[in-house]
A and B are shown apart, each in its own frame.
Chain A
């Protein structure tokens, strides 16, 4: 297949393969201790169905327990609880103190570890980890599904999670994606080329999209043109006619949820020669993206922007990424009348490579509120079925995605979940110096090599597979045959009372 940019397109296999943690010691919620009383009988290895204990042939003793696979105290209810079954009482289990030092109320250690589990195995954890919600005490963490006792029968194999992105009927091509999820914009500079390419390869495997962010269009992305969104942001870094013409969707980034109303800022340390070359800037200098587009101060200006892109590429769809001010509903309607195919709301609790803490916490409304507000307003205006509403900035799990859809979104863009799948622990150190100490959000030549492209790609493919499984599970429980039909079904949701 040849892209509109004339580039042969690469096919990536959509297949789950085990892809263990890239660090020597995978972290688990529980630690399994094996004392010197162990005689190496190997019974534990035969007993444990989770693969915690491994005793290879010819070994005298078992290997160090792979305790990240342990399901914890729940195992005591089963007949294969190694601690109880060990004849020498050599095994013990305790909560790993390190997991208390990772995570936060939004991304609990359970959510991080369960995302790692999904990225490793392609399936949700069976027990021991809360993989659906965090502990932030609001938004998605208080919204739940009211599953009917007797749902309509739905064949899981026939459940449709696809989404058509062009609803305007304006003669431009239809763009179909197989999941109601795609990857958010992350620029080269804020993340490594391996991260960017892994996202693009995953998009190709799952027939979804990834987005360039505003760091320009890297040559190595060209084999994935059909699954890349070119972002046009206020800095216009790397935006050229060529990068607009080679893709099926172009995204205008008016604002970013984590720093709404503020511009972007790539600190000088991360502006390496390679980054500077792509951005056509001077290496080592901090790079600012102003806010807003200084050419847009009205819906009419906004329409001129969209018309410009449509003129440059007559086959592309146009997405408009905005943040969530009080009048986000009016902004959405304005964008629709300006000609947007996709309105992309980015909630205030979304991810970023660097943002002032005051902005991340305080400016603009969290995504959950904005979805409901905008969906209701678009329905009232009679234009809901003429535009695709994509949301981002706070969806951490497959359950969050489905809640967002039930609140009124058509699909969800994710970012942090992908980073976590690649090994992010949310230490929040992406922004300065050499960048991410785990090599995900860094262009440092040494740090970026901490992660290989093949490893990263497979982790993301596995994550998407695990998420789709959970989407299907939710739809089966609800008796709804497709994610399209879940959209706006807030009647299947409940809002839990605030815990005292």
Chain B
């Protein structure tokens, strides 16, 4: 058995100003300074920390986000002077997809690398669009489960990128026909993608690369950013080649393992050029998630390209469509088409855009992806609040992440921590389903519950109103 994949998380508190969910309102002018004050009794010491902060501003305390909203102080104050309110700044973060709770949980995971655990039951909406309309299955009594998270059983999260021929062919004298299959074996079903906007300039690319190396995965980077990358990190780099041709990437084609091509019209020519330099190179075609994506994948696959990176928008929606579908629906269609054509096992599908939580990774794979690429969430790990302005870019003048002087090691460790937490959560999902490797999760829609189907089955006979 290979060594167990382990991601080394390390506590890395955020260096940005954290926005908390709750704020306390204290009508101090009516305070009688009684001896029964509730503030020293806060079991989270929120008020004590606040007092320490007031005495010494250099104290590293951000009181706003320490409050857990238990309301004990509100209900206990002798004169009823305390109130807790939702922090309007918290509510303003993100948008309808990148919700404030996603920011908060991402920050916590990037701090420590730990799985978010809490008491009480689920507290959100019953279901929602996109991934929120899927529940994953679990095993009960008659199927074995896998205890992966506590280390008693090994659950593999490895995936392969590359051409996987359905069979090998040999000449009459026993020689194999064609080149042996080149595969990249990743121990985690995700790669790091180029975020839709940047913070921290070049430092962000360097941090992604360092994180990819630590995670033993890959990161995509524009060709312009590949110059000067240390040789020991090139194996984790995927240059992004546009219509201008190989350009700066040409010099490192022998060292990298994979390249992504953006321009559909020139892709096959560029693939040929790249393969001429490095025959073992994995060449991927990067496509926008659009209605014709399945057709293009089939066409390109028949022409020899076997790896595809489908990019949805920030919200996981198809790009440019009048009625865009979510990744969940688009991936299911593409996966099914490939299955029908008998080509699914030959190609690798990477999907990105709107992958905001660990559950999205698992659900995208259930819908048919082999692995995902994460982008925006890497920025969120560094404090980004997805506060894109009308220009479609972050407010550079007052970026909350304060990433102008981004520290590469700090940023990389926060990315690693976040992915460590995601990896553990993926194992939770796989363990509950009794699946021993993530490869077997791909397209396993029978081990998921889709809202549309179960509503019809369970409530189809109820009167409608």
Residue ranges of A at the interface with B (Cβ–Cβ < 8 Å): 21, 23-27, 64, 96-98, 100-102, 104-107, 136-139, 141-144, 146, 254-255, 257-258, 260-263, 265, 288, 290-292, 296-299, 302, 322-323, 325-328, 330-331, 334-335, 348-366, 368-373, 393-394, 416, 424-434, 436-438, 441, 447, 490-491, 493-497
Contact = CB atoms under 8 A, between A and B. Distances in A.
B465 interface: yes
A265 B457 CA distance: 34
Contact of B150 (A107, A288, A362, A425): A288
Interface centre among B69, B71, B119, B433, by most A CB within 10 Å? B119
A291 to B, nearest CB: 6
B339 interface: no
B168 interface: no
Contact of B142 (A330, A356, A357): A330
Interface string B119-149: 1111111111000001111111111110101
A373 B456 CA distance: 11
Contact of B71 (A299, A370, A425): A425
B120 A416 contact: yes
Interface stretch (B78-86, B217-225, B326-334, B376-384): B78-86
B255 to A, nearest CB: 37
A306 to B, nearest CB: 11
Contact of A139 (B126, B137, B432, B448): B126
B397 interface: no
Nearest to A139: B126
A110 B414 CA distance: 39
Nearest to B105: A357
Contacts of B123: 104-107, 426, 428
B119 A292 contact: no
A142 B117 CA distance: 29
Contacts of B18: none
Contacts of A64: 80
A165 to B, nearest CB: 21
Given A334-B141, A428-B120, 19 more contacts: A23-B75, A23-B76, A24-B76, A100-B86, A101-B86, A106-B124, A138-B126, A146-B463, A258-B122, A263-B147, A302-B141, A323-B140, A331-B141, A361-B359, A364-B135, A364-B137, A365-B135, A416-B120, A494-B462
Given A23-B76, A97-B83, A355-B117, A495 B141 contact: no
A490 B80 contact: no
A299 B70 contact: no
A102 B429 CA distance: 30
Contact of A299 (B43, B122, B141): B141
A296 B85 CA distance: 49
Contacts of A394: 121
Contacts of B121: 106, 257-258, 349-352, 360, 393-394, 416
Interface string B356-370: 011100110000000
B115 interface: yes
A351 B458 CA distance: 23
A424 B72 CA distance: 10
B138 A98 contact: no
A495 B464 contact: yes
17 contacts: A136-B124, A291-B431, A298-B141, A325-B139, A352-B119, A356-B425, A358-B425, A359-B428, A363-B135, A368-B459, A373-B458, A393-B121, A428-B120, A429-B68, A429-B70, A432-B117, A437-B72
A30 B126 CA distance: 27
A34 B135 CA distance: 50
B240 to A, nearest CB: 31
Nearest to A107: B123
Nearest to B143: A297
Nearest to A394: B121
B77 A24 contact: yes
Interface centre among B44, B115, B120, B447, by most A CB within 10 Å? B120
Given A357-B116, A357-B118, A362-B429, A98 B124 contact: no
Contacts of B86: 100-101
B77 A356 contact: no
A433 B85 CA distance: 24
Given A292-B141, A356-B115, A428-B120, A138 B127 contact: yes
Contacts of B139: 261, 292, 325
A25 B77 contact: yes
A431 B429 contact: no
B305 interface: no
B461 interface: yes
Contact of A24 (B78, B85, B119): B78
B192 interface: no
Contact of B147 (A106, A290, A351, A491): A290
A299 B449 CA distance: 23
A-B pairs with lowest CB-CB distance, top 8:
A261-B432, A138-B126, A430-B119, A261-B138, A23-B75, A104-B123, A372-B458, A136-B126
Interface in B141-181: 141-145, 147, 149-150, 152
A143 B121 CA distance: 21
A190 B447 CA distance: 31
Nearest to A361: B122
Contacts of A434: 43
A69 B138 CA distance: 45
A261 B124 CA distance: 21
Contacts of A441: 119
Interface string B438-465: 0000000011110000110111011111
Contacts of B78: 24
B204 interface: no
B22 interface: yes
A354 B119 contact: yes
B387 to A, nearest CB: 23
B277 interface: no
A98 B119 contact: no
Given A98-B84, A254-B140, A437 B126 contact: no
A209 B105 CA distance: 38
Interface centre among A102, A144, A265, A358, by most B CB within 10 Å? A358
A442 to B, nearest CB: 9
Nearest to B44: A437
Nearest to A262: B432
A200 B121 CA distance: 22
B43 A433 contact: yes
A262 B149 contact: yes
B454 A356 contact: no
A360 B428 contact: no
Contacts of B43: 433-434, 437, 447
A292 to B, nearest CB: 5
A325 B124 contact: no
A351 B140 CA distance: 19
B25 A25 contact: no
Given A258-B121, A325-B137, A361-B122, A497 B145 contact: no
Given A98-B74, A364-B135, A431 B464 contact: no
A478 to B, nearest CB: 14
Interface centre among B75, B134, B433, by most A CB within 10 Å? B75
A297 B126 contact: no
Nearest to B362: A362
Contacts of A23: 72, 75-76
Contacts of A296: 141
Interface centre among B147, B432, B454, by most A CB within 10 Å? B432
A246 to B, nearest CB: 27
Contacts of A257: 121
A322 B141 CA distance: 8
Contacts of B362: 362
A263 B86 CA distance: 34
A363 B150 CA distance: 18
Interface centre among B70, B105, B141, B428, by most A CB within 10 Å? B141
A95 B412 CA distance: 46
A97 B85 contact: yes
B142 A260 contact: no
B141 A335 contact: yes
